[in-house]
Amino acid sequence: MDYRKEIEEVFEREPVPEHILAKMKEYERKGYEVPDERLIKRPSHIAGIKASSEINTGVLDAVAKEIRAGMTTQQIDDIVSEYTLSHGAVCAPLNFEGYPKSVCTSINNEVCHGIPSRLRHLHDGDIVNVDVSTIYKGYYSDASRMFMIGNVSAERRRLTEETKRCLEIGLEAAQPWNTVGDIGYAISKYARSKGYSVVRDLGGHGVGIEFHEDPFVAHVGKPKRGMLLVPGMIITIEPMINIGGASVSIDAYNGWTIYTKDGSDSAQWEHSILITETGNEILTY
């Protein structure tokens, strides 16, 4: 079935509500950056993205049941692949711009894009981010969770818990007619108050019809700056928080894995959310 054609037809069949367009124009006159209408998902799009999101959350639940010390990161990849395929969906990372696996597994000082391997084992005391993205009937969903393996140090446990709190604070700021900058400001203010740094080079993004859409959702920012958050937009919030400095480097060998430059630990949690007229709705957990 040509899902792309069906998705495109929805734009013509289901226009953006007039009261939303009028309010966007009002904000634009005030100098705000407003989104292109194509970034505002229509009801049929939202239904499709929610169906994809349900599978994506199921994938992470399946990993949560099995993850343990001693298993390899390839075993995590196998769980993700098998669950996704058994539900009629596709693992979005696989072969995306050459990425070789179905999931990202990032351990300790790996910020993101850790590549699963049969040679890489999880050890007692590790913290690991499992980042899953799903395509179902042409629609994309995206989320990640942190897992603490066995007896985790107090420092790593606190980092993991405070990073989740950063995500929650970002969600609180992601209100209709706020801006992307409001999200970044809230997250970075809290993280720094706890003695952590926030990765600047990477961030969240629009999602749903493509894997990565506008806007770029930085986790640092200034209030009332950046793109306006309009009901119908779907974005990810995925703060990457470091114990040490904010600088990162990319693996020269595989070209994908991002590490903290100083070797300190990093953590990340990610939800995809729908901006509604009254707040936001979490789509992926």
Work out the burial of residue 13: count CB atoms within 10 Å of its CB; fewer than 13 is exposed, 13-18 middle, 19 or more buried: exposed
The tally of CA atoms less than 13 A away on the side-chain side of residue 76 is 32
Supply the pTM of this predicted model.
0.97
Q: What is the pLDDT of residue 249?
A: 98
Q: Domain count of the chain?
A: 1
Question: Which residue type occupies 96?
Answer: F
Q: How confident is the model at residue 1 (pLDDT cuts 50, 70, 90)?
A: confident
Q: What is the DSSP string of 78-115?
A: HHHHHHHHHTT-EETTTTGGG--SSSEEEETTEEE-PP
Give me the mean pLDDT over the 179-199 stretch. 98
Percent of the chain with pLDDT over 70: 100
List the domain range (segments joined by +) for residue 249.
Answer: 3-282
Tens digit of each residue's pLDDT (9 = 90 or more) over 139-157: 999 999 999 999 999 999 9
Tens digit of each residue's pLDDT (9 = 90 or more) over 121-131: 999 999 999 99
pLDDT at 2 over 90: no
CATH number at residue 202: 3.90.230.10
Q: How confident is the model at residue 206 (pLDDT cuts 50, 70, 90)?
A: very high
The tally of CA atoms less than 13 A away on the side-chain side of residue 276 is 11
Q: How confident is the model at residue 18 (pLDDT cuts 50, 70, 90)?
A: very high
Tens digit of each residue's pLDDT (9 = 90 or more) over 229-282: 999 999 999 999 999 999 999 999 999 999 999 999 999 999 999 999 999 999
| Average pLDDT over all residues of the chain | 98
Q: Roughly what angle, to the nearest 10 degrees, separates helices 43-66 and 3-13?
A: 130
Under DSSP, is residue 261 helix (H, G, I), strand (E, B) or coil?
Answer: coil
Q: How confident is the model at residue 30 (pLDDT cuts 50, 70, 90)?
A: very high
Q: What is the DSSP string of 191-257?
A: HHHTT-EE-SS--EEE-SSSSSEEEEE-SS--TT-SBB--TT-EEEE--EEESS-S-EEE-TTTS--
Tens digit of each residue's pLDDT (9 = 90 or more) over 38-83: 999 999 999 999 999 999 999 999 999 999 999 999 999 999 999 9
Q: What is the pLDDT of residue 144?
A: 98
